[in-house]
Amino acid sequence: MPDRIGRIWELAQQGMAEKLPPLEELKNKCGADAVCAARLIIDAEPRARLQRVPAPDTDRIRLQKRTSSVTHAEWRAGRRHIRLNYFGRNVREELRHALLPVAIKAGVPEVVLDLRCNGGGDVERMLSAAGLFTGPVEQALIAKADGASRPLPITSDTPPIFSGRLTVRIGPDTASSGEALAALLKKFANARLIGTRTQGKSYSQQVIPVSQRWHLLFPQANLRVPGIDWQNGLVPDVPRSEAEAACPRNRA
């Protein structure tokens, strides 16, 4: 029988926890109960949390496969408005497709990228999306874990699709790699941020399987853009009301 608790503990050790309970303590207190062990790990690292795994559902799986990262792309008063809610598998291609009319149409005054509903996701996919605005950047993001820092580049084989005025909408639901994207665009694409302070979730998370019904979301690495720290949330350049900065998902 696999040592599930040992594997959970080993993966958590690779993350940001300063002090986890010893493995033997987890086994003595929990026996073979992996959920019990995960809860003790959460007691030591409050940023971690258990997340329920939904029961397999073929309709849900098909829906998730159809879910787009770019949920809206439209023209308003000559400006291109794009809402990016997720960092899905095809995020770069979807965002590139939404930006192509800007590359074709001359004299576009502004692109507005809406991240108000973006709660984060895969960091590598986020970096690939950022490259459409920034081009390649050697040290775009710094990831720090276990006392060691490593730079994460934006690798892009094309120049920016749009290099004009860029506005990024942010709000209290903008989090994690969503915040990282906003910070990257501010730093490397001269974007202005409008809205309200973001969530301040300046770390990536690792998904650790616990049981068929649960997995553990564990902080993996602190993220920062050189010169920009959003541990307490990104502060907008242009403040807006809470109503304007709220995620419009439920009223779209």
For residues 79 and 66, give the distance between their C-alpha atoms in angstroms, rounded to a whole number: 27
- pLDDT computed for residue 24 by the predictor: 95
d(C-alpha 91, C-alpha 115), whole Å: 13
> How far apart, in whole angstroms, are the C-alpha atoms of residue 6 and residue 12?
10
Q: What is the pLDDT of residue 65?
A: 46
Is residue 55 classed exposed, middle or buried when 0-12, 13-18 and 19+ CB atoms within 10 A define those classes? Answer: exposed
Check whether 66 has a pLDDT greater than 90.
Answer: no
Check residue 207 and give its pLDDT: 83
Gap between the Cα atoms of 4 and 32, Å rounded: 8
Could you tell me where in the chain the CATH 3.90.226.10 domains are found? 58-204+220-247
57 has pLDDT over 60? no
Q: Are 16 and 145 in contact (CB under 8 A)?
A: yes
What's the pLDDT tens digit per position in 183-202? 999 999 999 999 999 999 99
* Whole-number pLDDT of residue 56: 54
pLDDT at 191: 98
What per-residue string of b and e applies to 156-165 under the rule 16 or more CB within 10 Å gives b? beeebbbeee
What is the distance in angstroms between the CA of the first residue and the CA of the last residue of the chain?
A: 49
Place of tokens 């004009």: 164
Annotate 191-235 with DSSP letters as a single string.
Answer: PEEEES------EEEEEEE-SSSEEEEEEEEEEEBTTB--TT-PP
Write down the pTM of the prediction.
0.82
Average the pLDDT over 30-55 and give the result.
89
Name which residue leads in pLDDT, 229 or 62.
Answer: 229
Would you state the pLDDT for residue 129? 97
pLDDT score at 250: 46
SS3 of residue 105 by DSSP: coil
Topology (CATH level 3) of domain 58-204+220-247: 2-enoyl-CoA Hydratase; Chain A, domain 1 (3.90.226)
For residues 206 and 15, is the Cβ–Cβ distance under 8 A? Answer: yes
234 pLDDT above the threshold of 50: yes
- Over residues 144-187, the pLDDT tens digits come to 877 788 999 999 888 899 989 999 999 999 999 999 999 999 99
> Cα dihedral sign for 131, 238, 225, 88?
negative
Q: Rounded to an integer, what distance in angstroms lies between the CA atom of residue 59 and that of residue 252?
A: 23
Q: Which two tokens stand for residue 90?
A: 């095809």
Average pLDDT score, the chain: 89
Give the angle 190-192-197 at the CA atoms, nearest 5°: 130
Give the whole-angstrom CA distance, residue 84 versus residue 60. 21
pLDDT tens string 68-109: 899 999 999 999 999 999 998 899 999 999 999 998 888 899
Q: Which residues contact 86 (CB under 8 A, 6 or more apart)?
A: 67, 68, 69, 118, 121
